[in-house]
Structures are given as structure tokens and as C-alpha cells.
Structure 1
């Protein structure tokens, strides 16, 4: 098999690279590692940007969702490099790998977080994002992109992103596709009142995605006026700061006492779940996207006997990457204001800490290895 470019100790592709390595909760280290060499069907990307997700932070702090407990299997693996929201430039790969992806050296690609097995019941039925083994960049099975280079396995899903946009904007295609999947799950209709809780990266993406559906009324909830102003720029009609207004009462006032048709939870805070159940109308739809650090307890009789709600989960961003990338490339989103902070790789700890600092003024934090 012809190899287009090989890894060798040259100025273009060095023999070693910097990579953040997980040693356990609260113990991530920047280390020197060999640059991966792509085998048949694989590609090597030079990392342009990798976003720092709230799930990265929760994994760092040891949430059971990732490290496992008596109720859950472990997803996170010691020894792996984190980082699943990324875009990079193709620098090596064989002819077959490039042709199969319609790519060439120098192209920019973004990768879906899941690396499907393509053999399990879910993959064979087309539900690849729920793959049984559930290997994922940055958590389980495959190194992520908090490094100078990342290997793209043959099984991975890739999407072209313009090289003309900022690297951090290109990497935002992963969270935006996830947000759009949550929107799709909500089955929004033209006459709906839609409420999105949280104006962080996922919530802003959900607002932008819901705007494409053009519901009658799109409401954003948050505790920050600055983030709510971003929500307006992303497409929200009405802004509610829940520190000053009773969101449930205001939504009922706006809907003749009935409540919202669709509620998308994108805060990751347990209180937002009960809030959503309260402000939905009877026969409404609740879409849960967040990864929670703590357990959530609600009155389930609201879901059944009181309102007969549809409660739906959303995971990853299947079938939403093309519209997400198209929206990013269109320039319609205020991405310079959403992608607020960029760090070089050696300052990865500052990036993680900033994501966890609610007073730090960040929205989307990214790592750009080239900033070093």
C-alpha cells in the first residue's frame, strides 16, 4: 500500500510530541511521547485546536460517570490523552485512507467523539453513536487531542472543516453537533415555545440549532446576563435570568398558563431538571443532554400522572455534523464571543481550571498547541 507521508524525525513531523496524559483524577501531566505512526487506513492529524468540555473537567475531578463505581463501568482510562472536541490538519496517511475520506494532505478534519466498532447490535442497526463497546477519543480506547498530534483510526468518523476559519471555531463543530442532536430529539414544531436552560457552549448551540427550526418562541435561561446576551445573538427571542425572575411563572405567563412545549436541559445542574418538569405543559417534551456530576432526584409523578411528558435523552451528535459545520462556516454565530479563551498546550491546567471557574468569564475554552 502506497504511503503518502510517513512519520520521521523531520521538521514537519518530529519523532516525539507533547501530550497531556491522564494518571488518575486530579493528576494530568504534560509528557513527551512518540508521534503515532499511522497504519493501514489510519490518518495522522496535527492538532489545530481542541476544546475543553465540561465533561473533561468532571472526568478530571473524578466523577463516577467516568471512573465508575458500584453502579457504573469505568469509561476513563489512565494513560490516555484527553480531548474529544478537536480539528486538525492531515499530515500523514496512506492512499486508501485518504481516498476513503475524500481527503488530501493539508485538509482540515474534525472527528466525531465516538469510534464505533461497526459490529455490535447498535452499529449494525445504524445507531452507531450508541455503539456497545463505546470507544471514544480522549476517554476510552483512543488517545484524544490534547497533544501536538492525534491518530485517527480506520473506524473513526471524520468531517471536512474549512481551513479558512479560526482553529477554535473549527473545533466547536463537535459541541455544536451535539447541541443540534438535542434539538432534533425535541421534535420542535413551528408553533412551539421552546426553552433552553443554560447558555454555555451546549446551550448556546441548542439555541442556535433551535433557531434553525424557527419555533414561535425561543427562550433562554441562565444566571449570567453576559451569557444571555450571547443567547440573544445565537437566536433566542426572550431572555430570563433565573437569579432575578421566576422562570416557571414567566413561561406560564407567556403561554396563557400552559407552559413550554419543549425544554432542553443544558446546564448539568440538578436543579434545572426539576425546573424543566415544572415549566413544561402537559404532554410536553423534556430533552436531557447534560452530564451530571451528582445524582438527580425529582418527583416522577409529574412525568406520569400529572403531565404525561415525553422525557428523552440525547448523546453525542449523530447526523448533525454537516449542518453544524455549515452553520459555523456561514459566520452566522458570534463565535469570537463564544470561543472566549485559547491556551497553549503547556498551560492545559489553566484551561481546565478556567472551565471550572464560574466567575472567570469564559464560555468556550480551547487549547491550541501551536500557541506554544
Structure 2
């Protein structure tokens, strides 16, 4: 039987460069909510950018700030149910669960049309006071959230990858990959590598992975890439044209959040190609939009979060069609979060770093 603690340890974001491992009250739940004991929570590249004051989160003025600090961060979490409200059905203590990163309002035009990941209110766990995250001992799943039970056949490491791999799956879906396509995926962190696995399920003609780190290039081959290239060693546009009779790639998925990667993609993509932007930039970038319209008539797609992808991702991990071995490269105790963030940002051997309470 769960014995309620009054306080717990959590990593709260107060301001840029001001994250604190501190005591906070254990969340209280109402009749429609679920309390879970966190088993693990991954560090997203967005968490690192938040630490460094990324304008997408902190804004440029208090009026356009997204984050409601102080708040417990972390949106790549997995937990086991320890308590739930009387109106919650189909759940029991001990169930391992995940809640999708968006907490939709259910009332806006986007939610009502089924585009809940673009909810106008836009509450993402780990950034809002009413949607505290998983960098903590315990976490509350909102009654408005979309929750999933996790099969016991998944390891903790695999379970923590569900959220980032759902993002990967959604981005690949946005690309509308066909069997004769040459697909380029730029940025081979855990999500980019997940994109390689998901794209391989579509059986395109060729998958090319791009990254600056050799270990990531090697891992991409295991995930299903046919060719890997380092942009520091070759001209990517020229190499892609050599592979495509001079035309360029059909699909370019940008997963690095690098301005150079965008420019590289605009060069490498063919006329009427499909470009998907997933990576998040620390600041505004500059691109020649003539390439999009008058130059190549490119189709541009954005990819945000992982709607409708959690269940397919879990199934794909279980059947082995999404490669997960070694994608959790480092694990740290929550109290050692500073070292963990440093490794996530700077270690060339890092893919995904996990924090455990």
C-alpha cells in the first residue's frame, strides 16, 4: 500500500541557468487524476536549450514567455501508478504508464478537429504550473491528459524512449515517404535515429543519415540507414546529387536544429521535394525563401510532438522494427542532473541521457 509522503525531491526550472534540485510538495490529485512514481525521465535537447535560456521557452519579454517558472521540468517520463482518483477507470496500482507530452484542453478548434497536439492552450508537461514534469520522484497525470499503459515487455530504457520515438514517427509520417524516395535525415540523436528506423519501415529506395559524430553515424547504419555522411567531410548537396542522377533527394528531414542543416537541405533537395522541419533552433535563422517558391517549389512541413504515435511506437519497439539498443547511452541519478545535462549537451558518445529519482 502506498504511504503518502509530504515532500519529494524535484528538479525545478526557475530561470535560465537557474535549475534547482530541491524539496517540493508531493502532488495532490483529485477524483480524475493519477499519481505515478517516476521510474525514469529522459533529457530532451529542448531541456538543455531551456537551461541556456532558449527564446522559444523564455521569450524576449514576460508577455511572450511560454514557461511558467518555477516549474518541474521533464516530458520524457515513465512512472508506475501509486494512487488514482475514484473517477479513474481501467487503471490499478502498479501499472506502468506514460502520458502524452501535450495536455489538450479538449475545447479549442484544434482539439475538436482531432489535432490535439496543436491545442491552442498548448500545455506541455514540464513547462506549465498545471502540467508539472517528470524530473521528480512523483508526478501527477492530468485528467485532460492522454495516458497509455506500457507493456511489461519493454525495459525501462525502452519505455523512456516512447515519447521521443513518437516524435520521430510523427515527423516521418509528415514526410509522406514513397517507395522510390531517397530520404535524407539530418541530425542523428535519439530522435533522428528513431526517424531512420521508422523511415525504414516505409521501405524507401535509399535512406541517408547525416551527423557530425562518428558513433551516431555508426548507430544509424544499425537503425536502417543505407548510407551515412559527415557534413564536415563532404559537400552534402553534391553527394546527394551523385546518388540521384543529379536531381537531389525527394525528402529531407531536419532533426538537428542547426541553421547550416537547413541551408544544406535546401541545397540537397530536388525540385518539388518534401522538406520536414523538426529540429528546434536556439534563435531565429535566415533562409533564402526563393529556394522554396520560385527556385524549387518545395513542399514544407512542420512536425510537432507525437500525436497518435504512442501505441504504434510501443508495438514497433516490441516487434523490433524500431531499433532501441544503446539509444539510452547514459543514466544518472536525479541529484546529479548537472553532470547529466553536461553529458547530454557535450559528450560525443551521448545519444539519450536518462535521469532516475
Question: What's the TM-score, normalizing by structure 2?
Answer: 0.96
4+ runs deviating over 3 angstroms: 331-334
Residue aligning to 1:306: 295
Distance of aligned partners of 1:334 and 1:208 in 2 relative to their CA distance in 1, 3 Å threshold? closer
Maintained 8 Å contact 1:303/1:309? yes
Residue in structure 1 matching 2:132, options 117, 124, 143:
143
Whole-Å Cα distance in 1 between the matches of residues 35 and 21 of structure 2? Answer: 20
The two structures have a TM-score, normalised by structure 1, of 0.92
2:97 to 93, 97, 109: 109
Note the C-alpha offset of 1:335. 2.6
Is the aligned partner of 1:237 residue 2:226? yes
Alignment of 1:78 onto 2:69: yes
- Unaligned regions of 5+ residues in structure 1, if any? none
CA drift of 1:296 comes to: 1.2
Distance 2:275 2:232 in 1: 22
Residue from 36, 40, 50 that aligns with 2:31: 40
Equivalents in 2 of 1:72, 1:85: separation in Å? 27
CA distance in 2, matches of 1:360, 1:300: 33
Distance 2:291 2:63 in 1: 27
* Corresponding position: 1:132 with 2:120: yes
Q: Give 1:1-372 correspondences, 5 Å limit.
A: 10=3, 13-69=4-60, 73-97=64-88, 99=89, 102-140=90-128, 141-357=130-346, 359-369=347-357
- Tell me how far apart the structure 2 counterparts of residues 175 and 63 of structure 1 sit (CA, whole Å): 20
Query: What stretches of structure 2 of length at least 5 have no aligned partner?
Result: none
Compute the displacement of 1:333 (Å).
4.5
**Alpha-carbon displacement from aligned partner over 1:251-277 (angstroms, at most 9, x marks no partner):** 100100000000000011110001101
CA apart distance, 1:162: 2.1
Displacement of 1:86: 0.8
Secondary structure in 1 matching 2:121: coil
Q: In 2, distance between residues paired with 1:25 and 1:71?
A: 13
May I ask how many residue pairs the two structures share in their alignment? 356
Q: Distance in 2 between matches of 1:115 and 1:315?
A: 14
Question: How far apart are the structure 1 equivalents of 2:336 and 2:62?
Answer: 34
SS at match of 2:120: coil
